[in-house]
Structures are given as C-alpha cells and as structure tokens.
Amino acid sequence: MAATAAAAAMSMRIAALPSSSTAAFQENSSGMWSSSIVKASPFLGVRLCEPKHFSSQSFSFNPKAKCITKPQLQAIAAPVETKRAAPEARRAGLKSSVIITGASSGLGLAAAKVLAQSGEWHVIMACRDFLKAEKAAMAVGMPRENYTVMHLDLASLESVRQFVENFRRSGRPLDVLVCNAAVYFPTAKEPTFSAEGFELSVATNHLGHFLLARLLLDDLKASDHSARRLIIVGSITGNTNTLAGNIPPKANLGDLRGLSAALNGVQSSPMIDGGQFDGAKAYKDSKVCNMLTMQEFHRRFHEKTGITFASLYPGCIATTGLFREHIPLFRTLFPPFQKYITKGFVSEDDAGKRLAQVVSDPYLSKSGVYWSWNKDLNSFENQLSEEASDPEKAKRVWELSEKLVGLA
C-alpha cells in the first residue's frame, strides 16, 4: 500500500514536469528509490539522496550514503507549502550549504569541486545549463551526494525569483552565497539585451546577482552557521589603480545616467555611463558595480546580521571560458603571455582553491574586504580603486538597481 501511494505521488510529480524533461525512477531489491533527471525543471532542486556519514576533518570524506526511503520520497513528491525549518533542526546532520552561480565551468566549477570533495559542504550549482553542469560535476569527480544542480539564468529576473523559490522548497539552509557567474562580450559591435531589456553584461553580472543576493539575504540571516558569508567575485580589470585596469577601455560609471535610464538602448544608452556601446567596457563596468554592491551590503547589513560580505580577485585565469567570445589569436596568446611575461597566470584549480578559501577559511572572515593573493600565495586585503570604493556611488548604484529589479 505504501509503495502504491509513493508511486502514485511520484507519477503526479513526473506529470508536472515540462515535456522537455525526462525522468526515471527505480526501486531496487532493498526497497530503496533512485532517480535520474536529465534536464532542468522546478523539480530539479530536490535531491533524492543525502549523505549519512561525513568527517568533520577538512578535506576528508566518508562516501557511505543512504537513499531516501519510500515514505520520505512520498512526502517530498506531494505538493507542500514552502516552509523553512528552525535553525537548530536544519543544522542537525546537515553539511554546510553554499550556492555558487556559474558553477558549470571555470572558477565556479573549480571552487565547487574543492568544497564538495572536502566532505564538509553541499554545493548548490546554480547554472543556466543543467546538463552541462551535471556532466562537469561528474567529470571533475564531485561526490554525487555533495552537490545539487539547480537552474538559474541570471539574465532573467523571473528566473532568479523562480530559483529562490525552488531553493527554499528544497528545505536546505543557506550558509554562503557566491555570486560568481559572468558574461563577457569583448568583440561585440552591438549590444544584446536581457529578457527585461537591459544590456546583457550588466543584466547578468550585476542586476541578476543583485536581485539574487537581496532575495536570499533573509535565508542567510536565518542560518545558524558560524560563518555566514555573501561573496561577490570582482575583477582587476574594474580597478583603475592597477596596470590591467588601465588598459583601454577603462571602467568608468560616470554619473550613472545610463543605469538611471534602464540601459535599454532605445530611450537611453545601453552603457551605465550613458556612452557608446563597448562590450569590453560593459563587462568592466559591471564588475565595478559588483564591488560597490559588496561594500554597500557590508555597510547596510554587517553590523545588524554578523554576515560577512566580501569580494575577491583570485588571479588571472587566462584559460577560463570567460574569454570564449574573444578573437582566436587572443585566446591562443593570452595564456602564455600571462604565464611567462606578466607572471600573473593562475590555473583554474588554484583559483578555485582561493575562492573556496574565502568561502570557508575562518581567517578570511573579515567583512567589507576585497581579497587578493601575493606571489607567495598568501591572501591579503587589496585596495580598490577610487571609483570602486566610492560610498556615495555605491549608494546610488544600490538605489537605481533596486528600481530596475523591482525592489523599490
């Protein structure tokens, strides 16, 4: 009877999946259920397996795990209201939870790998391409019970809201949020636009993350984790107090007239400063917004909540897919140039370890900091440029961004 009820409930859940999703559920000889879903859907944030044992020692992992039994599966499959567990209930028996955007490749994947393989973290890989993320996680050897892939398209504010809703339905606490995903169109001659009509670089890199962080702030507040953090990945190219930041076109938000006019390219310029479109500058401007946003979060919420707000530049990851839109000659020459001429080259693996360090290292718990690493591989508090550390501009970016994403 229980098996029949569970199967019926699961059938209802499968029927609710989009036609583009495929799912398989099997019951083994021990009466356990296993599942496989190969495309994103609102159901994908719910995991059917949870680790039973893990070591609290750093970077050690006990792979013993047990699948959810049929009565539990039935409870998950049935439609229920979104409810958040009390902190003490959520923490018992759970690993620390971190959401990483853009975790299907590059820096995000490398950091997800380090954290998942430590055995101490469950990584929510928030990605636009579900299948790509699943394949990437398997390829780098992330333990299956230590990650969940959930669909998120930062270029769509509706997708951001749907992601937050799906995450809350999963019942997991949120201990750390990492805003990492980014797009870069350095050779684009004309702008492209998001679902809401914003220039795509700023929509994805800044506005999508701004809305995500604002909506999930309550979840971070509710966590009983000892080191709750919100991390926004910065960039040296947005800092004009560096050599890299002075390579034209330089980041410059100007008086924010483009941002105040919604960046739609119709009634206003698609650029934040109101100037002519430049794909490389649009990316750099968006990273300045990221670093200003981190500092404004710190000023508004750190003392009230105890949450750590930080940014970082992990080094030049010259082989990252971020450069996939660049010309082939650049993609060929840039890695050896960084490795042998500037000596600034950092592998994706090493950069991932640095991001994972900002997520979990108790020594990097200071709020309002922009972290970097020296040649001895030691972390230090780096200086932001005058514009990227301007509190008045940060306040203005915050207020305009609230209006654009529908929070004001």
What confidence tens digit (pLDDT) does each residue in 290-307 have?
Answer: 999 999 999 999 999 999
Q: Is 31 left (phi over 0), alpha (psi -120 to 50) or beta?
A: left
Mean pLDDT of 45-64: 36
Residue 372 — φ and ψ, nearest 5°?
A: -140, 175
Q: What pLDDT, on the 0 to 100 scale, is given for residue 191?
A: 95
Q: Which pLDDT does position 382 carry in this prediction?
A: 95
pLDDT at 117 over 70: yes
Closest CA to 172 of 227, 222, 109, 115: 222
Q: What is the pLDDT of residue 345?
A: 62
Q: How far are the Cα atoms of 91, 296, 383 from residue 110, in angstroms, in the given order?
A: 26, 28, 25
pTM more than 0.85: no
Q: What is the pLDDT of residue 144?
A: 97
Average pLDDT over residues 157-174: 97
The rounded percent of the chain whose pLDDT value lies above 90 is: 62
The DSSP 8-state label assigned to residue 324 in this structure reads T
Residues 108, 102: Cα–Cα separation, whole Å: 6
Q: Which amino acid is at 248?
A: P
**Mean of all residue pLDDT scores within the chain:** 80
